[in-house]
Amino acid sequence: MSATPVTHLWLREETKPMEHRAALSPDVCKKLLEHGGFEITVEKSEARIFADSEYEAAGCRLVPGDSWRTAPQDAIITGLKELPENDTSALPHTHIMFAHCYKQQGGWKDVLSRFVEGQGLLYDLEFLQDDSGRRVAAFGFYAGFTGSAVGIDAWCHQQLNSGEKYPVIKPYPNEDVLIAETKEKLARIGKMPRIMVMGALGRCGSGAVSYARKAGIPEENIVQWDMAETAKGGPFKEIMEADIFVNCIYLSSKIPPFVTQEQIDGERQLSVIVDVSCDTTNPFNPIPIYNVNTTFDNALLDIQSSNAKPLQLCSIDHLPTMLPRESSNQFAIDLTPTLLQLPTRSSAPVWTRAEKLFHDKVASMATSD
């Protein structure tokens, strides 16, 4: 009788600046190895929130960073964020990651072409879905949670440090430290902002609402909108009446814009937008007043307006790395049942759907404009 093939997961070092999260936590690696049928290689990383020694203690093999390119052909290269944009080499491996190329984002064909050229395969984490179409694992809650935190903090900065550049955002050891810092700033200001959360019933939106509550913002100052409220179609004047607007929707098709340049040029209370959804280069972006992602060291974009009141926008696309340990642990735990199905991925519905979607997207390159 032949031995059951071992599934080899290769956790690569993240290369996106200020990214401290991991797709696999040491605890989850230990669980997979104890389950049997898995081999796990982990690239060393000084940026990752988990120490290399934690993975080693879990039973993983450590290798130098960025060595996945020469990994064995059967290794499944596992990461979170997309590969560096300046890398155009062919991809012969199977990859698990958020590739951001299935909604015709900027450069999407370039990304998929690398897999075609190398005869590799992409399992996009955003599209690992259960039978009901719900994502099996997502950073949504902590994306909204930290997005709300940045929005409130940016508003506080406008009140306390008018005209000064917003400081570099650094990761926090835990959410209690972050919440305490927000509360202290709000106490110094002596008033509470009005925050509007779009997509409030989803994972992301519920995270945004949760942070606002934990920061002490009264319930009447937290405006929660979801599909029922947006059914009439934008743009929405109600957004202009809030101090902070946090967009947490999942964009799946073209919709009318939520915000227009004409609106922000007019009378408004609004001074901070946090676009947690970050459909920045999506042709259907419902916040079409910007087209670049911001970063942790330059978190806020000054939006041009004929209204003298400042308007700043945050479009960081990996906000949960502000709380890297909590967000990574939760994501990895949620992903574990699906990872345990990898040895039978040729018949496991989550994986077969993801593989079919990859091939469908590759085929669509020939017919898209």
The catalytic site residues sit at 81, 100
48 alpha-carbon distance from chain centroid: 16
All residues at 6 or more sequence positions from 345 whose CB lies less than 8 Å from its CB, including other chains: 351, 352, 355
Structure tokens at 169: 């955002």
Structure tokens at 343: 């040895």
| Angle in degrees, 0-180, between the axes of helices 175-189 and 140-160, rounded to the nearest 10 | 30
d(CA 136, CA 83): 22
d(CA 350, CA 112): 20
Positive or negative, the CA dihedral 320, 323, 329, 330 is negative
Structure tokens at 18: 């200020």
Residues facing 246 on adjacent strands: 197, 274
The DSSP 8-state label assigned to residue 135 in this structure reads: B
Structure tokens at 63: 């290798």
